[in-house]
Structure 1
Amino acid sequence: MKTIDRKGFLKTLGLAGVTAVAAPILIRCGSDDDITDTTTGSSSGSGSSSGSSSSACSVTNSETEGPFPTKSPSTLVQTNIVGDRTGVPFTIAITVQNINASCANLQGAIVDIWHCDKDGNYSEYGGTTMQTADYTSYHFLRGRQTTDANGKVSFTSIFPGWYQSRATHIHVHIYNSAGQSLLVTQIAFPEGSDSAVVQVASSTGYKGMSGYTYNASDNVFSDGTSNEMSTITGSVSAGYALTHTIKVSA
């Protein structure tokens, strides 16, 4: 069993070009300092926070799929991905556009998403020193949908937590209608004193902001988030809604 430094691992993958991970890699979601190869801020107010988005018709940045990709995404065709998790209510709306059609909305694209729970743990992994909470037989906070005529998919979830060395984020893998991979990317969250990230982290059940890694220092987002930044509206009491557009070459 070989242990390597987290930053070294990400650099080896190649942040701008990696679209898949050859084999599942287990990592302690609450502590990203080490990886074990097992071969297996700004905001627009307390009620609304939004990030900048690129108007250029170019492919959204590709990112590492990470050590926790969904193992059998075709079995998780669902819009409600909450499972047994608790947290602040959260809806996710993603629009997929095709740069080869002047960024027209892309119908029929397959969209997989996954993210950690409020404690920073992922389903389908765990029971090791890397993630002591064993969720290997659980499938929460993972889902697949196909874009409609407006290029849109929607999911019902809970607001993600965070874990060491990573800012709050959502993983996305997009395929064409034939199942061929088009893009692996991640969705970034706006930051700032009144942002949803801060408000949620300070709410009941979440762990606060002590030790939080901001986008600028995140190994994945440190090269910029201009076309990966989401828009988030809402409140802790009413729940939050995320909207985001991802551009692919289809």
Structure 2
Amino acid sequence: MERKEFLRRGFLSALGTSFILPIVGACSGDTVNPVSTTETTTGTTTGTTTGSCTTTATETAGPFPTKTPSSLVMTDITSDRSGTKLTVKITIQNKNNSCAALANAIVDIWHCDAAGNYSEYGGTGMQSTNYTSVHFLRGRQTTDANGLVTFTSIYPGWYSGRAPHIHAHIYSSSGTSLLVTQIAFDQTINNTVYAQGVYKSHGLQDTTNANDNVFSDGVGTELASFTGSITDGYVLTHTIVVNG
């Protein structure tokens, strides 16, 4: 099945099933493995408001979730990928604790490279380039006392049928799954980045947030903020609110 067709059909969302993330062996410290890994892939971008913050929308983890995230505890997830530098700063808040910062939460992120390809997958109709043996642009960190994690990466590319995005899966300190979501990007900055460097040959994205099958019902809880430039790189800042 072509990747665009997968996205058009909504795959797991349309089927009303759950996506089971792989369970890996036990480890210690900030490599805690999930003890509850079943995630519903039927998402909404409306969120739920309680108190002074809004729960971040739940979205699908597929079709390219990280297979063994506990093995990828790192700050710099760039690996050998080329592109405009992107620093990703994600703050986790707990709606169930008056929107306070959630310390010791586990945050996994993953995204495609400048050409729109994911590591750990490929060689099929979903993605022709075979990257099954590498793990670029995937990583795990544990939040500090301010609920913050910071990753060094590159600005994601895009692939047909999807607006640019980063996937994020949030767990409690004990490994219980709290939220799977996606982070949306600013259209103006996309246009600037994709007109230069390694992105130029791929051209501008064919899908905007408004036309995206995940983001089309709104990105109020998923749109990141950006500072920086092509020369210096960009800093992505985003808050994810979970029911901790």
**What TM-score, normalized to structure 1?**
0.80
Give the structure 1 partner of residue 109 of structure 2. Answer: 113
Structure 1 CA distance for aligned equivalents of residues 131 and 106 of structure 2: 25
RMSD: 2.4
Match 2:195 to one of 202, 220, 227: 202
Deviation of 1:127 after TM superposition, in Å, equals: 1.4
1:58 aligns with 2:54: yes
Identity in percent: 57
1:217 aligns with 2:215: no
Give the structure 2 partner of residue 190 of structure 1. Answer: 186
Deviation of 1:149 after TM superposition, in Å, equals: 0.1
Give the structure 1 partner of residue 36 of structure 2. Answer: none
Structure 1 CA distance for aligned equivalents of residues 189 and 3 of structure 2: 35
**Cα deviation digits, residues 57-85 of structure 1 (max 9, x gap):** 12100000021000000000000000110
Instruction: Give the AA of the match of 2:107.
Output: V
Instruction: Give yes or no for contact 1:176–1:182 (8 Å, CA) kept in 2.
Output: yes
Residues 112-151 of structure 1: matches in 2 within 5 Å?
Answer: 112-151=108-147
1:9 aligns with 2:19: no
Structure 2 CA distance for aligned equivalents of residues 87 and 151 of structure 1: 28
Give the structure 2 partner of residue 47 of structure 1. Answer: none
Q: Which has the higher helix share?
A: 2
Structure 1 CA distance for aligned equivalents of residues 143 and 14 of structure 2: 28
Instruction: Give yes or no for contact 2:169–2:179 (8 Å, CA) kept in 1.
Output: yes
Match 1:233 to one of 227, 230, 240: 227
Give the structure 1 partner of residue 98 of structure 2. Answer: 102
**Cα deviation digits, residues 83-140 of structure 1 (max 9, x gap):** 1101111100000000011100000100000000000000000012321111000000
**What TM-score, normalized to structure 2?**
0.82
**Cα deviation digits, residues 31-61 of structure 1 (max 9, x gap):** xxxxxxxxxxxxxxxxxxxxxxx99412100
Give the structure 2 partner of residue 246 of structure 1. Answer: 240
Q: Which stretches in structure 2 are left out of the alignment for 5+ residues?
A: 23-48
Deviation of 1:234 after TM superposition, in Å, equals: 0.9
Deviation of 1:142 after TM superposition, in Å, equals: 0.1
1:21 aligns with 2:22: no
Instruction: Give yes or no for contact 2:120–2:132 (8 Å, CA) kept in 1.
Output: yes
Structure 2 CA distance for aligned equivalents of residues 219 and 245 of structure 1: 22
Instruction: Give yes or no for contact 2:120–2:135 (8 Å, CA) kept in 1.
Output: yes
Instruction: Give the AA of the match of 2:10.
Output: L
Instruction: Give yes or no for contact 1:124–1:138 (8 Å, CA) kept in 2.
Output: yes
Q: Report the number of matched residues.
A: 215
Instruction: Give yes or no for contact 1:14–1:64 (8 Å, CA) kept in 2.
Output: no
